[in-house]
Structure 1
Amino acid sequence: MEKLQREVRFLKAYSLILTTVLIAFFFMAFRTDFGKQRFQEIDVERINVVEKDGTLKMVIANGERQHPGMSEGKELAPRKRQPGLIFFNSAGDECGGLVYDADKKDGAGMVYSVDQYRNDQIMQLQYMQDLEGSKARTYGLKIWDRPDDFTLTRQNQVHDSLKTLKDEKVYEAVMKQLVAEGKYGTERLFVGRTWKDEVGLFIRDSKGKVRIKIYVDKQNQTKIETFDEQGKPVTK
């Protein structure tokens, strides 16, 4: 009888200890405020940086798990993107990022983009290089103008509507017209090295026409060129 009582007391103590440990593990598993942690090394495919309310502010990810982008609080359709960092503002829009990669087919490159509010990039610091054939490269600073009334959300709506028509000719005609009107942005300036090994300043007008080129060509000749609205040289 005494032996049985000892075994019962042991089982009670064991149950109490086990229950305490399980409760501790339970609270640790659901704890959200771990404070500052330090790691010597960590392997991860994606990190989401969020505010306390869960608002997404930045994603660091590999290519497979990269965020597709967001406009007006809505996530865009899945698409292939390069690894890197994507930034998001408090209005629920992607607002820039840093992406990079390299392979024989698509070449090598790294791009840091700054996006217009609820639109695509208006400024990029970029580097691109062909890894086959010509081995040409270009790098520098590029800026665009973009309209305020044709947001990224509106672009996607137009694109989806045209696709539902299943008429490639209509799609191409409308897209060509929208591009000509500058709805998808107009390149205005590039400072850097071109694919033709020209290094200098290249300025375009509001329609995207090259108007001023100040550069050194690949023969190390300095050139200053201006053009009219039709693209014809004015002075050299």
Structure 2
Amino acid sequence: MEKLIREVRILKIYAVVLTILCAMFFFLAFKNQSSNERFKEINVERINIVEKDGTLKMVISNKERQHPGLVNHKELKPREREAGLIFFNSLGDECGGLVYDGNDKESGMVYSVDQRNTDQIMQLQYFEGAGKDKKRVYGLKLWDRPDDFPLEDIIKFEDSLKKINDPAVSKTAYAKLREEGKLTNERFFAGKTADGDVGIFIRDTKGKVRLKLYVDKNNQTHIENLDESGNPVK
């Protein structure tokens, strides 16, 4: 009789525990499928925005935990980057971002748009130094980048030169790339320069300034048409 009572008691405890576990399971399952969580305030060092399959699409991060970048789904080597947002496409490449910072020496903010398989081709940028000579620069800048020299090749090229660690070899190698048309060239800037000129500055395919339309710091207007050597063209 005592054995029977003990077994009944065990069954009751088992039933109660099982009921509680089932209730918790259904509650959590319902909670996960219900409306989104809402927070009035949240402190976080980094947020990764991903697709359902885990593909990384955007990172919002502080400086210390900022993403180093992706090329063909592979992370780049760790490097120092400012806080901000970094964007990634479905190819597994970084495709732009917004970074910013400011301290006693300098301040700045940059919004970049990257060309497919390579680095930035457009930036909305602002830089400013400290002290009396601030050298404030801001505006829109555009570059041309070749399609046959992707970012992976650029990284391999620069890493090989770092291993050699010879300035003369590096200079020759870069000169060869420039001759082959594989180096990036600035093409356009609209904004304010470090000299205080505000206007539009257009460069040719070799990166040389060919046309300037600007107002200088003394409020004098200028329209300059230049040849490949930088001399005025009448």
**TM > 0.5 between the two?**
yes
Q: TM-score range by the shorter chain?
A: 0.7 to 0.9
Aligned-pair CA distance for 1:167: 3.3
Structure 2 match to 1:132? 131
Q: 1:46 to 1:17 in 2, by over 3 A?
A: farther
Q: Which amino acid aligns with 1:159?
A: E
Residue correspondences, number: 231
Q: Which amino acid aligns with 1:149?
A: D
SS, match of residue 233 in structure 2: strand
Structure 2 match to 1:66? 66
TM-score for the superposition, normalised by structure 2: 0.87
Q: Tell me the distance in 2 between the aligned counterparts of 1:183 and 1:91.
A: 22
Structure 1 match to 2:95? 95
Aligned-pair CA distance for 1:217: 0.4
Q: Which amino acid aligns with 1:83?
A: A
Q: Tell me the distance in 1 between the aligned counterparts of 2:160 and 2:134.
A: 40
Aligned-pair CA distance for 1:159: 1.6
Q: 1:37 to 1:183 in 2, by over 3 A?
A: same
SS, match of residue 139 in structure 2: strand
Q: 1:173 to 1:47 in 2, by over 3 A?
A: same
Aligned-pair CA distance for 1:33: 5.6
Aligned-pair CA distance for 1:59: 0.7
User: 1:183-220 CA deviation, whole Å, 9 max, x = no partner?
Assistant: 33100000111111111110000001000000000000
Q: 1:93 to 1:16 in 2, by over 3 A?
A: same
Q: Tell me the distance in 1 between the aligned counterparts of 2:88 and 2:119.
A: 13
SS, match of residue 149 in structure 1: coil
Structure-to-structure mapping, 1:126-165, within 5 angstroms = 126-165=125-164
Aligned-pair CA distance for 1:169: 2.9
SS, match of residue 42 in structure 1: coil
Q: 1:186 to 1:20 in 2, by over 3 A?
A: farther
SS, match of residue 110 in structure 1: strand
Q: Which amino acid aligns with 2:221?
A: T
User: 1:38-73 CA deviation, whole Å, 9 max, x = no partner?
Assistant: 111111111111111111111111111111111122
Q: Tell me the distance in 2 between the aligned counterparts of 1:41 and 1:20.
A: 36
Q: Tell me the distance in 2 between the aligned counterparts of 1:114 and 1:152.
A: 14
Q: 1:74 to 1:39 in 2, by over 3 A?
A: same
Unpaired runs of 5+ residues, structure 1, are none
Tell me the percent identity: 58
TM-score for the superposition, normalised by structure 1: 0.86
Structure 2 match to 1:75? 75
Q: Tell me the distance in 1 between the aligned counterparts of 2:74 and 2:99.
A: 21
SS, match of residue 142 in structure 2: strand
Unpaired runs of 5+ residues, structure 2, are none
Structure 2 match to 1:222? 221
Structure 1 match to 2:47? 47
Q: Which amino acid aligns with 1:65?
A: R
Q: 1:34 to 1:46 in 2, by over 3 A?
A: farther
